[in-house]
Structure 1
Amino acid sequence: MVARLLLRWRVLRSLVRARGIVSWDEARPLLNLCLSRLWLRDRSGVGGTQEAGSRNGNLPPALFQMATGYWLSQAVYVAAKLGLADLLRDGPRSCQELAAVTGTDPRCLFRLMRALSAARIFVHTQGDHFALATAGKSLQRDAPGSQRAIIMTLGEVHYQAWGNLLHSVRTGSTGFASTFGTSLFAYLQSSPEAADTFNRGMSDVASMLASAASRDEGYDLRPTFHH
C-alpha cells in the first residue's frame, strides 16, 4: 500500500535527520535499502488478489513492482557480469577485496551487494563482508543449473532492445534493430563474445527446461504441437 510506503519514508527521513546526514550521497543508500526491502517484502502481491486500482486512486504496490522490476534484474546482471558468485565460492569476502579483483568502486559495490542480499542472492555477514546464498550459486559459471550466461545475455543485449519497445509498438519494427542497427543474429555474427554468451545461455535454458520436464511425469507436449 502506498500509505505504508509513505510511512516508511517518513520513518527513514526521521532516522536520517537523527543521524545528522545532510548529504544526498549519504542518504541515498538508506533510501534505496528501505525501498528494496519494502519491495521484496510485498512481491507476493504481484498476480495475487490485489485490485488493479484502489478506491482512493493510489498506485498499488503490485504495479509499482512491475514498473521497477528492472532495478533488480540489472543488479542481478551486474553481479553475473562481475563474477561475484565465483569470487565468493570459498566463503565470505569483503567488498574491498571484491572491488580490487573486479575493478569496481568499493562503496557502490557494497550497495549492490546489500541490495542483492535483500533479494537473498548474497548474505550480508558483517561489516562489508558478504557470502553466497543458495540462490546465488546459480550465478556461478560452472555450477549445475547455472543461469549466469542467460542472465548476462538478457541484461546486456535484450535489456537495451526492450528499451525500444515503444518504438516497436509505434512502427512495427523490432526494438533490436532500432537499438543495434541490425538483426539479433547478424549482431551475434559480428560479436563473438556476445555470441558465445548467447549460445551458452541458450544451452543453460535448454538444460533447465529438460530438467523440469523430466521431473514431471505428467508433462504433456501435445498442446505444444496442436494445430
Structure 2
Amino acid sequence: MSQGTSVSYMKELHSDSALSTMIELHSGVRITYMLQAVAELGIADQLAAGPLPVDELAQKTDSDADALYRVLRALAGKGIFTEVSRRVFALTALSEVLRSDHPNSLRDAFHMHGQKFMHDAYAQIGHTVRTGQPAFEHVNGTSLFEYVAQRPELQELFGKSMGKANRQIQLAAVESYDLTGVRTLVAVGGAQGHVLADLLTRYPGMRGVYVDGPRMALVAEQVLRAAGVLDSVDMVSGDYLESVPPGGDVYLVSHVLHQLGDDDTVKVLTNIREAMADGGRVMIVNAVIPEGDVPHPTKILDSTMLVLGRSRDRTEAEFAEVLRKAGLRLVETTGRALPSSVVVAEPS
C-alpha cells in the first residue's frame, strides 16, 4: 500500500479489478499484431503435424528464433499455442483456426487486418468519431474497395479474407431458419453465390434465382457449378436497386443492406415487395444489434464498418422501420446470438 493512499496496487493487479481489466484490454492491440505476424508466417500450418522446437520453426519460416519464441510464449499465455516443453510449441483449439486448411480458418483475416493501410485506419478512429467520416478514406485518400482495386497484389488476400469470414457468418445464420417447402428462392445481391449454393444443396427440391452485377455473376457461376447446383439456378445479371425478378417464394437478402443507407435500403425492399406474391417472404441475413449494454459481436463489427466505410448495421427496431416504409412487416428474428441473424418479413 503506497503512502498517503488506501489503494493497494498489489491487490488491484492480482484481482479482477477495473485496473487489471483495463490493462488486459490495452494489451489487445498488441496481441492482434502478434497474431497477424504468426498468421503471415504460417506458424500454425508448420505445427499441423505436431509440436516443433522454436529453432526449427524459425528456420522453416525464415524468422529470428529468439523473437519468435518470445511472441509464441506471449500467445501461449492466452491459450493460443502451448509450450509443451521448453521452447517447443504445439497447437491449441484456438491456434488451429490459424491453419490455412481449417474449415473456419481466420489466417487470411488476421493477415489482412494487420496490413499497414488497415491498422493506420483503425488508429485514426478519433477522426471518425469527430467527423462521422470513415477514417480509412481520411488516411488512405480513397475508399477501401477502390484502394484494393488499384493494387492487384492485395486483391487475392482481400478477397480470401473478407469472403471467407462473411461466408462463414452468413452460413451460420441461414442454418437458424427452416426453408422446407420453399420452391423458388431469389438471392438478391447473391455475391459469390456460396450461400445460395449451400441452400440449394441443403434443400434439393428448391430452385434458385441469382441476382447481382455481371462481374459477381461470373464468379458465382463457377461457385454454383462446383457445388453441382448450377442447373437449379436462373442467373440474372442486374441492379437490385432498380428491380428484382418476380415469382419468388422467398427473397434472400444476405449481407447487402448493411452496405446501404436507409433510403437505398427502403428502395431495395420496395422492389422486392412489388415483385413478390402476397404469400411471399423476405429473408434478411444481417447483423442485428441488440439494444442496451448486452455484449454482442455485432457492436464491434458495426464500429469497424464505421472506420472502413459508409456501411452500418441496425437494431431490430430499425429493421422494422425500414421494412414498414417498404410495405413489409417484421414477423420473426432468428439466430440472435450469432454475428448475423435472420430477419423475416411479410407483406403488411
What TM-score comes out, normalization by structure 1 length? 0.68
SS of structure 2 residue aligned to 1:139: coil
Deviation at 1:225, TM superposition (A): 4.3
1:127 paired with 2:134, answer: no
- For residues 75 and 159 of structure 1, the distance between their equivalents in structure 2, rounded to whole angstroms, comes to 13
2:142 paired residue number: 182
Asked if the contact 1:85/1:136 (under 8 Å) is kept, the reply is yes
Deviation at 1:65, TM superposition (A): 2.5
1:113 paired residue number: 72
Counterpart of 1:206 (choices 160, 166, 171) is 166
- For residues 154 and 115 of structure 1, the distance between their equivalents in structure 2, rounded to whole angstroms, comes to 20
Out of 164-173 and 74-83, give the one that drifted further. 164-173
- For residues 76 and 64 of structure 1, the distance between their equivalents in structure 2, rounded to whole angstroms, comes to 19
Counterpart of 1:93 (choices 48, 52, 65) is 52
1:127-206 to structure 2, matched below 5 A, reads 127-156=86-115, 157-206=117-166
- For residues 4 and 73 of structure 1, the distance between their equivalents in structure 2, rounded to whole angstroms, comes to 28
Runs of 5+ unmatched residues, structure 1: 8-37, 43-49, 51-58
- For residues 77 and 174 of structure 2, the distance between their equivalents in structure 1, rounded to whole angstroms, comes to 32
Asked if the contact 2:50/2:90 (under 8 Å) is kept, the reply is yes
1:26 paired residue number: none
SS of structure 2 residue aligned to 1:91: coil
SS of structure 2 residue aligned to 1:135: helix
- The C-alpha deviation readout for 1:59-78, integer Å capped at 9, x for no partner, is 53233323321021111111
Deviation at 1:3, TM superposition (A): 3.2
- For residues 180 and 98 of structure 1, the distance between their equivalents in structure 2, rounded to whole angstroms, comes to 35
Asked if the contact 1:138/1:148 (under 8 Å) is kept, the reply is yes
**Bigger helix share:** 1
How many residues are aligned here? 179
- For residues 141 and 35 of structure 2, the distance between their equivalents in structure 1, rounded to whole angstroms, comes to 27
1:82 paired with 2:41, answer: yes
Asked if the contact 1:145/1:207 (under 8 Å) is kept, the reply is no
- The code of the aligned residue for 1:121 comes to I
1:69 paired residue number: 28
Out of 146-155 and 202-211, give the one that drifted further. 202-211
- For residues 189 and 71 of structure 1, the distance between their equivalents in structure 2, rounded to whole angstroms, comes to 29
Computed over aligned residues only, the root mean square deviation of the Cα atoms, in angstroms, reads: 2.8
- The code of the aligned residue for 1:60 comes to L
Deviation at 1:221, TM superposition (A): 4.8
What TM-score comes out, normalization by structure 2 length? 0.46
Percent pairwise identity: 29
2:207 paired residue number: none
- For residues 214 and 174 of structure 1, the distance between their equivalents in structure 2, rounded to whole angstroms, comes to 30
Deviation at 1:174, TM superposition (A): 2.7
Asked if the contact 2:13/2:20 (under 8 Å) is kept, the reply is no
Out of 65-74 and 139-148, give the one that drifted further. 65-74
The structure having more radius of gyration, on CA atoms, is 2
Structure 1 stretches of 4+ with a deviation exceeding 6 A read none
Asked if the contact 2:13/2:19 (under 8 Å) is kept, the reply is no
- The code of the aligned residue for 1:198 comes to F
- For residues 57 and 143 of structure 2, the distance between their equivalents in structure 1, rounded to whole angstroms, comes to 36
1:53 paired residue number: none
1:35 paired residue number: none
- For residues 118 and 189 of structure 1, the distance between their equivalents in structure 2, rounded to whole angstroms, comes to 39
